[in-house]
Structure 1
């Protein structure tokens, strides 16, 4: 039976906490939960759904191809693979108050990189109810994945995660 992988980076902060909240909505018998530095991209074929999670960072960090940028390493390892048999979804963290012009920009990076692999992408999330001015993680009225603001709206994370995971389960059946 195919499984779900929930991969997140960085460790020990809001991203990991949000990943744990999302993980609690999934079946632990069929879900592997791990930080990105413990995942081998060669294992992708074991999964039917891969959920990625990260925080918004400046564009200069995403473009930095140094060996210590784990997301860049991950996407370099999969960029030439045909992953049309795998479905991806993403969640991103940002700060609508301090960085309203870059809220969850990381979702845009995830979407751009995943799209290069021919993988199916699910989990778009409505922008309604958020207070930001711009985002690379938005197309139309939807984020490319679940947008979370643990700095200003931590009380909304649990409910958003529940609704989003229910949405993912439904979309996986389509």
Structure 2
């Protein structure tokens, strides 16, 4: 069993609820969880698997939300970190009705940041069953990670998490 860390931002809302649900699905004894602002970066090398999660805030551009986004600070602090030997999966929350042109854009942001550190995301998720017009978090009919819309499709959240964790379990060896 490989050591797994789930990092998320922001606490106190749907992202934290999704993070906790993912941990429950994996097994709380198999994964450590932390909001990204509270995590001690010096412990990064202790983990082989990472699951990272965020929400896409309804802004014209993801960079417009940087003042409140602790992921930006995390990625600045880990600029020199090499993720090439790590397994990394991402989940993103969005609202496909209110922000159909930016649905789970955070997945695209996460992918770029991971790749800049020699990493690669696993756990791509099909975009079937979603109603959005554009996303930086998708290519060729696949999201770069699990896409959740807890506002418009709350009844699908648990089912999607269960299926996604099943998808990850072999590659991450929980």
Structure 1 length normalisation: TM-score? 0.92
Question: Aligned-residue CA RMSD in angstroms?
Answer: 1.7
Q: Which runs of 5+ in 2 are unaligned?
A: none
> What does residue 100 of structure 1 align with?
100
* Change over 3 Å in CA distance of 1:166–1:139 after alignment to 2: same
Q: Is the 8 A contact 2:52 2:91 kept in 1?
A: yes
> What does residue 71 of structure 1 align with?
71
Helix, strand or coil at the partner of 1:109 = helix
Residue deviations 1:59-114 (CA, integer Å, cap 9, x gap): 65536665x53111101111222221111110000001111111000000000000
Displacement of 1:24 = 0.6
- The range that moved more, 77-86 or 122-131, is 77-86
C-alpha distance in 1 between matches for 2:164 and 2:55: 17
C-alpha distance in 1 between matches for 2:79 and 2:56: 21
> What does residue 130 of structure 2 align with?
130
Structure 2 length normalisation: TM-score? 0.92
Q: Is the 8 A contact 2:56 2:62 kept in 1?
A: no
Helix, strand or coil at the partner of 2:164 = helix
Displacement of 1:40 = 1.6
> What does residue 158 of structure 2 align with?
158
Q: Is the 8 A contact 2:62 2:105 kept in 1?
A: no
Helix, strand or coil at the partner of 1:24 = helix
* Change over 3 Å in CA distance of 1:6–1:124 after alignment to 2: same
Helix, strand or coil at the partner of 2:25 = coil
Q: Is the 8 A contact 1:4 1:48 kept in 2?
A: yes
> What does residue 55 of structure 1 align with?
55
What number of residue pairs does the alignment pair up?
172
* Change over 3 Å in CA distance of 1:136–1:60 after alignment to 2: closer
C-alpha distance in 2 between matches for 1:64 and 1:13: 17
Q: Is the 8 A contact 1:45 1:86 kept in 2?
A: no
C-alpha distance in 1 between matches for 2:168 and 2:124: 9
Residue deviations 1:106-136 (CA, integer Å, cap 9, x gap): 0000000001111232010000111000000
